[in-house]
Structure 1
Amino acid sequence: MKRLWTIIAVADVARSFAWYQSLLGLPPSQPAHDHFGQLVDADGTVLLCLHRWQAHDHPTLATPAHAEPGNGLLLFFRVNDFDQALQRALRQVAALALAPALNPGTGTLEFAVRDPDGYYVMISAQDAI
């Protein structure tokens, strides 16, 4: 099987790592390095990789000065604990970027938040209503 590993550049890997673990209800752990961490599901599936800005010579991770972080990117997570994810999100952010609403295309509830680096994060219920 082939899998896509989404990697986003962040200012502080440890801070973002803890933020996403909390949002997604993952058990607390530490990233492997101060410049890179992989958030994984219970079955070992990589959900998201976090890479510190300017840590290596990756051209698109060189500096946030070239574009606003998150421009053209939507991080979209389907969760099986939507109500709990919403409560976790409300404890982490001052305000939701998008209030919970039914997506008529998928028939699922969704809400959105901004992460500590400004990325737009959509949380969607696993099952349709």
Structure 2
Amino acid sequence: MRPQTLIAVSDVEKSSAWYCEVLGATSGHGGPDYERLVVDGVLVMQLHQLEVEHHHGRFGDRAHPLGNGVAIWFETDGLEAAAEQARALGATVQTEIHYNPNADHHEIWLRDPDDYLVVLASV
């Protein structure tokens, strides 16, 4: 089994550009309604426009804040470079790079354009 995380976002193309820069991902679909983000040929995340229903109904409700109670974790070989790229894009850094003794790795906690908590962790 492999996770295929999908989050609802307010602007798919903006979020796609942000995640592609931070994660070193590429677009696997593209467009204003839906995106598949790929790293080395592997799907790492999906983005879906909040109010587009497609065949499954709407993913979210604008009356509720996006990202509340969700943390999206990514392991990376290049933590420092990814953190620097996120800072250059103006990401809000919630917690700077630090050592997490529970996971035995270093990590940084950021906020994406829709305020989802994104954790980048060393391998």
Per-residue CA deviations over 1:12-45 (Å, capped at 9, x if unaligned) read 1110000000011235x47433200000111x22
- C-alpha displacement of 1:6: 0.7
The separation in 1 between residues aligned to 2:92 and 2:31, in whole angstroms, is 30
Alpha carbons of structure 1 residues 60 and 99: separation in structure 2 relative to 1, 3 Å: farther
Count of residue pairs brought into register by the alignment: 122
Match of 1:108 in 2: 105
Query: Deviation of residue 93 (structure 1)?
Result: 2.0
More helix by share: 1
C-alpha separation in 2, matches of 1:31 and 1:100: 32
Question: Which amino acid in the other structure matches residue 61 of structure 2?
Answer: T
Task: In structure 1, list runs of 5 or more residues that go unmatched.
Answer: none
- Structure 2 gaps of 5+ residues are none
Q: Which residue of 2 aligns with 1:39?
A: 37
- TM-score, normalised via structure 2 length: 0.89
CA distance in 2, matches of 1:41, 1:60: 27
Partner of 2:115: 118
Deviations 1:47-89, CA, capped at 9 Å, x for gaps: 1100001101645614231x32112211000001111111111
Structure 1 117/94 Cα, relative in aligned 2: closer, same or farther at 3 Å? closer
State percent identity of aligned pairs: 30
Amino acid at match of 1:18: A
CA distance in 1, matches of 2:86, 2:60: 29
Other-structure match for 2:49? 52
User: Which residue does 2:18 correspond to in 1?
Assistant: 19
Once superposed, what is the RMSD of the aligned Cα atoms?
1.8
